[in-house]
Copies of this chain bind each other. A is one copy, B any other.
């Protein structure tokens, strides 16, 4: 089994890869695979992560929730009790492919019905690959309310990773709003569109700092001395190497992360080993994870800032700060130096260059199929429908059906969603991606893409100008149930004749989340080899809420019997069986 885990990265064929995963799963119980059992209760509690007190959705009283720690091949069981009063819930295990358990993906409306107040839903899945993953609510806009956390999957005992480090640490970056998610959602979905604006704070591992004094708010609402918002500190020993796992679950913001005076060596992205490269600071988009190695080789008599800054949008949110604390300095001693400010917010070349720099590590390359069976181009646009602000893909703004797709497709309920195939392309010959759309009207649909099982699919994400002139937002796209090869990035409109010739077919990184940069395109390839129904969407929560997503079906006929625990809504609602 240890051999298999290693093979996983050294073998070159997808068939072998799948075979090795299968083999791993089969053998896992006989070697070292364990059950990692968690009991969580989800509740509203007043929290002051940035000193401003507001309601947050917590897990066992915490936001971020507990970190799931497991080893490759382990089975994770989360008994999730919904302790909210009137709200349902669902949790997605971000980056876990759910091979053989597509009903455990936790995507409300796609793979399951929401979990009712008082109900306990048992999530059970195998973490089949080592790496850094995330979990978060996938229902309405509950992620923004604080329902998220980290998953860390270690290699099996005895397996060596291709880099060494002394300590392993995790942080999650986030942005934080003072308005409730209800206020945000109501504003987004009203005709008199109200956007909540830029976040008030950036959080590092659930801690940020809002300027209470300047805000004029009373101490019972905003209190800078609240220990809940004292900066996060990471205590390090001089002369060591730290693996720092960094995930971003921002609602909106693309971020840059830096540790003052320390280089970061990028070694992992979304669970795949990266051909190491050194940066002064790391760009990270919502839904991405990275591991960086940090050598504590600086003057040990002081602390250093760890800082996160907004990129790709004009900055109005202050730098998020944590303390990189050299032992034995006091962890609360703030450096007297200025925190890192990262790159210029609008330096898109810098961001593009870092995206392109991420390649699979030699010896761990999983070569992509050299050709694809189908190319789906997805134009990203902001639109209006009947006066409502929406985001769309190929002029279709996505809506979730009332009965989750997985159940509908497995049970042949063809009436619960639009059976028309979703559009493969847009009018690329005439569409001007550099201007606000001439006709910003789009249509609603819950139609999907049905993929031939085991076929190879290329996705071209094509960015464009939003409704506002001279604006093209960066969208981080996240694919459920798969990793994809990142074949290339480009500026402007994708050229279907010439651009594919420049694809990196040698050592492309595999990821589950990837940005499409402003006015640019990103080309992805994946194998439709995981029976199930999988969402693919912009990870900016408000964008998905406003329709920026699609759904893929593949091999649904191979999906085993669905557990009744995922049912209970739409066409599967409340039929009592004595």
Contact = CB atoms under 8 A, between A and B. Distances in A.
Interface in A111-142: 113-114, 116-119, 139-142
A88 B118 CA distance: 13
A544 to B, nearest CB: 12
Contacts of A141: 85
B578 A140 contact: no
Interface string A90-117: 0000000000000000000000011011
Interface stretch (A5-13, A232-240, A244-252, A566-574): A566-574
A86 interface: yes
Contacts of A87: 86-88
A402 B565 contact: no
Contacts of A46: 183, 186-187, 190, 194
Contacts of A402: 118-119
Given A87-B86, A88-B117, A565 B574 contact: yes
B411 A569 contact: no
A44 B119 CA distance: 24
Interface in A541-578: 564-570, 572-578
B573 A568 contact: yes
A283 to B, nearest CB: 31
Contacts of A88: 86-88, 116-117
A184 to B, nearest CB: 10
A89 B87 CA distance: 9
A113 B55 contact: no
A407 interface: yes
Would you call the interface of chain A mostly helix, strand, loop, or mixed? Answer: loop
B578 A411 contact: yes
Contacts of A45: 186, 190
Interface string A41-73: 000111000000001000000000000000000
Given A88-B86, A118-B402, A574-B572, A182 B180 contact: yes
A332 B85 CA distance: 41
A386 to B, nearest CB: 15
Given A117-B88, A140-B86, A180-B180, A567 B572 contact: no
Contacts of A577: 575, 577
Interface in A134-180: 139-142, 180
A573 B82 CA distance: 14
A564 B574 CA distance: 6
Contact of A576 (B114, B180, B187, B567): B567
A185 interface: yes
A570 B89 CA distance: 15
A119 B569 contact: yes
Contacts of A180: 55, 180, 182
A182 B55 contact: yes
B576 A574 contact: no
A401 to B, nearest CB: 9
Contacts of A44: 182, 185-186
Contact of A574 (B55, B140, B569): B569
Contacts of A119: 402, 569-570, 573
Give the interface centre of A85, A185, A573 by most chain B CB atoms within 10 Å: A573
A116 B113 CA distance: 10
A85 B574 contact: no
Contacts of A85: 140-141, 182, 185
Nearest to A413: B578
Contacts of A116: 88, 113-114, 116, 568-569, 573
Contacts of A570: 118-119
Contacts of A568: 116, 568-569, 573-574
A564 B575 contact: yes
A357 B407 CA distance: 61
Contacts of A564: 574-576
A187 B140 CA distance: 23
A570 B117 CA distance: 9
Nearest to A575: B577
A89 B187 CA distance: 21
A433 to B, nearest CB: 32
Interface string A404-417: 00010001000000
A88 B85 CA distance: 9
A140 B141 CA distance: 20
A42 to B, nearest CB: 12
A115 B463 CA distance: 39
15 contacts: A45-B186, A46-B187, A46-B194, A55-B186, A87-B87, A113-B116, A113-B574, A114-B117, A118-B402, A119-B569, A180-B180, A180-B182, A564-B576, A574-B574, A575-B577
Given A45-B190, A87-B87, 11 more contacts: A55-B180, A55-B182, A55-B183, A86-B88, A87-B88, A116-B568, A180-B182, A411-B576, A564-B575, A568-B574, A569-B574
Interface of A: 44-46, 55, 85-89, 113-114, 116-119, 139-142, 180, 182-183, 185-187, 190, 194, 402, 407, 411, 564-570, 572-578
6 closest pairs, A vs B, by CB? A568-B574, A567-B574, A86-B140, A85-B140, A575-B577, A44-B186
